[in-house]
Structure 1
Amino acid sequence: MLQELSIKNFAIIDELTVSLEKGLTVLTGETGAGKSIIIDALYLLAGGRGSSEFVRHGEKKAELEGLFILEDQKHPCYVKTAELGIEIEEGMVVLQRDISSNGKSVCRVNGKLVTIGILREIGSSLVDIHGQHEHQELMDESSHIRLLDQFGEKEIARALKNYKEVFSRYDQTKKRITQLSENEQQMAHRLDLIQFQFNEIQKANLKIGEDLELSEEKKKLGNFERLAESMQSAYSALQGEQKSLDWVSLVMGHLETAAELDSELNGALEAVSNSFYALEDATMTIRNHLDMLEFNPERLNEIEARLNEINGLKRKYGSSIEEIAEYSAKIEEEIDAITNRDNHLHNLQKELSSLEKDLSIEADELSALRKKWAKKLTDSIHKELKHLYMEKTVFQVQFDEAANGFKKDGMDAVEFFISTNPGEPLKPIAKVASGGELSRMMLALKTIFSQHQGVTSIIFDEVDTGVSGRVAQAIAEKIHQVASHSQVLCISHLPQVAAMADTHLLIQKNIASGRTTTSVTPLDNDTKIKEIGRMISGVEITDLTKKHAQELLELAHSMKQT
């Protein structure tokens, strides 16, 4: 759920923090008070398109921040954030967006900078905003198959997983066949190129780690004089009369005599003795190294030439000898595939034919399950529509039989169709024009899909426009039903919807020091009666209006109890 929303310097809002609760929160107020501005802020916070026009006049930037609490450990937001390396602690997700006066945006998720695209991807799993003519997924034909799969839940998910596993192998095999089926001229050019590359790599006879060994040897030869001088100085300081080894030997002799008189000095004697023998070994090593040290300019030239050859291959085929070897193995396989193209094509065609049979079986099983759940979805939606006084409306999930060919999500093309009046043909849901009917249709769908989509917060922005009477009451009950599965924020002008609110917020516009600001006030029972009374009658609130408002609240309370 959205627990807290902070807005600063956004449109007519100077600074506003709103704490929100579970269930149904209704926002009411006079037209122009700023109700939709709050929804606009949420829309931008979830990755919507913004502009400098949203920044309050005279300010440098608008700041938006929302704290979401995830109570379900399997919420899809966890998967999205994990892919992006964003940590979620104690189920808290903080979305932030700053919009500057030049139109640029800075977006963060839990403090990590992200692009608007990533903010939108994460935001879409947390917030679902519905306006009267903006129904997002439900009105998007391409998303209908996904919504049907969500409704079918685990049964369809298992079949879809099996299908996708076979489809992945099928798609890869098709791509390999396409590559091998290119025209002969292109294939000959490709063979000449990779054969040359393979021969060049093989001729170099590279060895793993060779470049590191050569670089080390080059370093020694290139600094021969410094190396020889340093080693000679070190040897001279250790070996010879009145030098380091001489003095340590003298110390060791004195300690041997002292230890015979005082056993507590045995430890010191042992330490000095060990040091002497270690220094003696080191001296011998330095001497032997000096004896073997020889400057060889020809060897230095050989090393530089070999390293140049290796670096040239690295520029062409990989950043390391290991990567060059991997590339060589890859093109060797490709050379074999092109050289023996006919045999490879024959084998791949056999493999593809076998995969097509397996894929067809999986696709048929998936399609059968979708049609089974499409019937259940149709029955569920007709039931919801009946509650919304649209019992004559016909809903249907149509499968396009003309659509064929294997796709990543099956062979089905699915679209939602409705007819709102008897005798009228079924039409795509996106083409239904009536605002009131569209609102009710959307609510019926959302009542069902809110149980399957896992969205944290659902926003209804005046979706009840164009309805009244018993339909208004039915819509109020349906919105509250959706709120039993997800947190719902609803802007409404209907007193019936306001009466069903678990939390009622009054949005008001105020003028101070010549500037307009927006405030949000939570209402108690008495102020609820007053506000609902205003919604019923307009400006003048009579005792009869208050009584009607009180009755609405009592009726809503009774309905919520049942």
Structure 2
Amino acid sequence: MLQSLHVKNIALIDDVEIDFTDGLNILTGETGAGKSIIIDSVNFALGARMPKDIVRSDCDYALCELVFSIDDEKTRSELEKLDVMLTDNQVILQRRIVNGKAGCKVNGESVPASRIRDIAEYLIDIHGQHEHQSLLYKKNHKLLLDSFCKDGFNAELCKLAELYDEYKGAKEEYEKASASRDSVAQDLDYSKFVAEEIEAAALREGEDEELENDFSRMNNSRKIAEIFSKVMQALSSDQEGAASMVGYALSSMHQIADIDESARPVYEQLAEAEDVLSDSIRALSLYEESLEYSPEDYERIKERLDVINNLKMKYGQTIDKINDRLSEESEKIEKLSDYESYLKNLEFKTNELYDKLLQVCAKVSDIRKKEAVILQKEITGALNNLNFLDARFEIIITSGEDKLSRDGFDDVEFMISTNPGEDIKPLTNVASGGELSRIMLALKSVLARRDNIGTLIFDEIDTGISGKTAQLVADRMSDIAADHQVIAVTHLPQIASHATTHFLIEKRADGNHTATSVKPLEYNESVEELARMLAGSEITEAVMENAAELKKNAGRLDT
């Protein structure tokens, strides 16, 4: 059950903590006091979408925390399947907003909101203010029937959904392959071209990296060699090289020095220069021999890299990806070479899956039809207890392969006759909000007996009803609360009088600050609140007596 609710800085709430009890927990208060804020806070904690204005305008964070006590093994087992470990037989669900960002926790561990929603399915069922209108949508009727079906049915539905997805995939593959029959020859030629081009390259893993390293090194050597060639030409070419020019100058100066002794120092300097040049040319020749550069190897590596890079541009950015493409094209060649056989295998697989799917659909349909008989009988009884005299409720199930989907081939529709002698008609044609509310309550009361959810929340399920019908609705909710924890927001004193625990929701203003408060009422305080609900602001002694009698009679009925 929901043991407690802690809300902080949400809408008009400053800081509220509510300790719920077993049985029927009733929330009442003036219109606008903030009753629905309590339910909205629960929804928020359970992972519902966050309204933009949920945080109080004067605050930068908000918190909602739910504490559930778990006392039955089935729920404990389901939670363990979701890897939820109990602490002191409790599950604590918390959601917090800080600076506009929401975070969720389960027993102190941060989790996504979707995980909280998965967990909540086994803990609580919330009937919102307008949820009864979901009965107007035929698509929801199948969901309600399926929720009534016994344990094991969900496993069949999961099996059906998986098989349906597998069948759809096979069918789409077959249809696509059939439509591509005309282009098979062209596709085969292309796949052969790609495979042959890749195979001809005979790529080796890591080859591209090795070649890139060699190419980079040889490219540097090539640049040095080109510059070196110019240096050697400048120094040792036959006519204009430095060595030739210095040799010519030296010979000329030798003649001058023989004639004029004063020119001999210049001659000796030129002789030294010639020796230096000769030594430099010999050293450069040795350096040239040390260079690792071969024009032939350079061109070979360059051409190989061009081949590899071309394949990368066409088939993948790495050699591994190019080889993967080769494997893909090889598989296509094998498939396309015997395309008719490939098509027949696909067709056989699709038909085989379809037959299996129909078998599972038939099994699911049989379960639905058997459970529908039980459900319509129980709902008819529940409707009679809610002032639908001689009401008839039927569940019509039509089956056909044309309705095939992930949840079977059944079309489910709820039919009802609410008055004696009236023809049965689709539930979607029921216009009265009060009638829809009672029908939904009948459904909830029947489903509650079947499922294992401990807590039911009703937010103003009493919409559009009054008088005797209101009393019958109150009795029905009290019956549900005998086996489940029920938390209900109501405007009807007939329902509030049955409260095991009665909470008053009030809005208080203190200067410029307005806040919603929650107060558990003692017996006499509950009677006073019932009197307000009966008569509004003018509460007379007679009204108080009526309220006390209402409370007393409700207590007598609940015992």
Residues 221 and 197 (structure 1 numbering): CA distance in 2 closer, same or farther, change over 3 Å?
Answer: closer
Partner of 1:15: 15
Q: CA deviation at 1:403?
A: 6.6
2:140 corresponds, among 143, 154, 172, to: 143
In 2, Cα distance between equivalents of 1:130 and 1:108: 23
Q: CA deviation at 1:388?
A: 1.0
Shifted more, 62-71 versus 505-514: the winner is 62-71
- Counting only pairs closer than 5 Å after superposition, residues 262-281 of structure 1 correspond to structure 2 as none
Residues 560 and 313 (structure 1 numbering): CA distance in 2 closer, same or farther, change over 3 Å?
Answer: farther
Partner of 1:94: 93
Aligned residue identity for 1:96: R
Q: CA deviation at 1:126?
A: 4.8
Residues 221 and 36 (structure 1 numbering): CA distance in 2 closer, same or farther, change over 3 Å?
Answer: same
Q: CA deviation at 1:203?
A: 4.9
Aligned residue identity for 2:23: G
In 2, Cα distance between equivalents of 1:317 and 1:424: 72
Deviations 1:399-449 (A, max 9, x none): 245672532221112122323234545444344221221111010001122
In 2, Cα distance between equivalents of 1:118 and 1:139: 30
Partner of 1:432: 430
Deviations 1:267-313 (A, max 9, x none): xxxxxxxxxxxxxxxxxxxxxxxxxxxx9999999799789959976
Q: CA deviation at 1:384?
A: 0.8
Contact preservation (8 Å) 2:28, 2:503: yes
Partner of 1:5: 5
Partner of 2:105: 109
In 2, Cα distance between equivalents of 1:523 and 1:311: 82
Residues 152 and 346 (structure 1 numbering): CA distance in 2 closer, same or farther, change over 3 Å?
Answer: same
Residues 52 and 166 (structure 1 numbering): CA distance in 2 closer, same or farther, change over 3 Å?
Answer: closer
Aligned residue identity for 2:105: V
Aligned residue identity for 2:95: Q
Partner of 1:277: none
Shifted more, 65-74 versus 427-436: the winner is 65-74
Partner of 1:244: none
Partner of 1:56: 56
Partner of 1:536: 534
Q: CA deviation at 1:368?
A: 2.4
Aligned residue identity for 2:66: G
Partner SS state of residue 404, structure 1: helix
Partner SS state of residue 174, structure 1: helix
Aligned residue identity for 1:134: E
1:174 lines up with 2:158 in the alignment: no
In 1, Cα distance between equivalents of 2:402 and 2:126: 34
Shifted more, 535-544 versus 498-507: the winner is 535-544
Residues 146 and 187 (structure 1 numbering): CA distance in 2 closer, same or farther, change over 3 Å?
Answer: farther
2:413 corresponds, among 412, 415, 436, to: 415
Residues 343 and 27 (structure 1 numbering): CA distance in 2 closer, same or farther, change over 3 Å?
Answer: same
1:363 lines up with 2:361 in the alignment: yes
1:129 lines up with 2:123 in the alignment: no
Q: CA deviation at 1:339?
A: 2.8
Partner SS state of residue 151, structure 2: helix
- Counting only pairs closer than 5 Å after superposition, residues 505-520 of structure 1 correspond to structure 2 as 505-520=503-518
Query: Under a length normalisation based on structure 1, what TM-score does the superposition of the two structures give?
Result: 0.71
List alignment gaps of at least 5 residues for structure 2.
218-290
1:340 lines up with 2:338 in the alignment: yes
Partner SS state of residue 53, structure 1: coil
Aligned residue identity for 1:64: C
Deviations 1:78-131 (A, max 9, x none): 67994xxx855435242304275xxx5524233666666666566566543324
Contact preservation (8 Å) 2:456, 2:486: yes
| RMSD (CA atoms) | 4.3
Residues 197 and 446 (structure 1 numbering): CA distance in 2 closer, same or farther, change over 3 Å?
Answer: farther
Contact preservation (8 Å) 2:8, 2:63: yes
In 1, Cα distance between equivalents of 2:395 and 2:446: 15
Q: CA deviation at 1:13?
A: 1.8
Deviations 1:197-220 (A, max 9, x none): 54455456567xx54x99799999
Structure label with greater radius of gyration: 2
In 2, Cα distance between equivalents of 1:3 and 1:185: 68
Deviations 1:21-57 (A, max 9, x none): 3332110122222112222222333344443333333
Partner of 2:555: 557
Partner SS state of residue 42, structure 2: helix
Query: Under a length normalisation based on structure 2, what TM-score does the superposition of the two structures give?
Result: 0.72
Contact preservation (8 Å) 1:198, 1:331: yes
Q: CA deviation at 1:188?
A: 5.3
In 1, Cα distance between equivalents of 2:181 and 2:365: 40
1:521 corresponds, among 519, 522, 542, to: 519
Deviations 1:513-537 (A, max 9, x none): 3321111111222322222233233
In 1, Cα distance between equivalents of 2:163 and 2:41: 44
Residues 45 and 194 (structure 1 numbering): CA distance in 2 closer, same or farther, change over 3 Å?
Answer: farther
Partner of 1:394: 392
Aligned residue identity for 1:7: V
In 2, Cα distance between equivalents of 1:21 and 1:315: 70
Partner SS state of residue 398, structure 1: strand
In 2, Cα distance between equivalents of 1:415 and 1:194: 53
Percent of aligned positions that are identical: 34
Contact preservation (8 Å) 2:403, 2:411: no
In 1, Cα distance between equivalents of 2:324 and 2:76: 37
Residues 526 and 409 (structure 1 numbering): CA distance in 2 closer, same or farther, change over 3 Å?
Answer: same
Partner of 2:474: 476
Residues 197 and 73 (structure 1 numbering): CA distance in 2 closer, same or farther, change over 3 Å?
Answer: farther
Contact preservation (8 Å) 2:27, 2:488: yes
Aligned residue identity for 1:378: Q
Q: CA deviation at 1:382?
A: 0.4
Contact preservation (8 Å) 1:6, 1:17: yes
Deviations 1:499-525 (A, max 9, x none): 222221111121223321111111222
Q: CA deviation at 1:177?
A: 0.7
2:377 corresponds, among 354, 376, 379, to: 379
Residues 436 and 344 (structure 1 numbering): CA distance in 2 closer, same or farther, change over 3 Å?
Answer: same
In 2, Cα distance between equivalents of 1:194 and 1:399: 51
Partner SS state of residue 181, structure 1: helix
Partner of 2:235: none
- Counting only pairs closer than 5 Å after superposition, residues 203-352 of structure 1 correspond to structure 2 as 203=200, 210-211=205-206, 309=308, 321=320, 328-352=326-350
Residues 195 and 25 (structure 1 numbering): CA distance in 2 closer, same or farther, change over 3 Å?
Answer: farther
Partner of 2:31: 31
Residues 222 and 358 (structure 1 numbering): CA distance in 2 closer, same or farther, change over 3 Å?
Answer: same
Matched length: 482
Aligned residue identity for 2:24: L
Aligned residue identity for 1:429: L
2:149 corresponds, among 146, 149, 152, to: 152
Residues 469 and 359 (structure 1 numbering): CA distance in 2 closer, same or farther, change over 3 Å?
Answer: same
Contact preservation (8 Å) 1:64, 1:98: no
Residues 98 and 165 (structure 1 numbering): CA distance in 2 closer, same or farther, change over 3 Å?
Answer: closer
In 1, Cα distance between equivalents of 2:210 and 2:81: 44
Shifted more, 464-473 versus 381-390: the winner is 464-473
1:493 lines up with 2:509 in the alignment: no
Partner of 1:273: none
Partner of 2:283: none
Partner of 2:281: none
Residues 305 and 495 (structure 1 numbering): CA distance in 2 closer, same or farther, change over 3 Å?
Answer: farther
Aligned residue identity for 2:104: R
List alignment gaps of at least 5 residues for structure 1.
224-294
Residues 362 and 526 (structure 1 numbering): CA distance in 2 closer, same or farther, change over 3 Å?
Answer: same
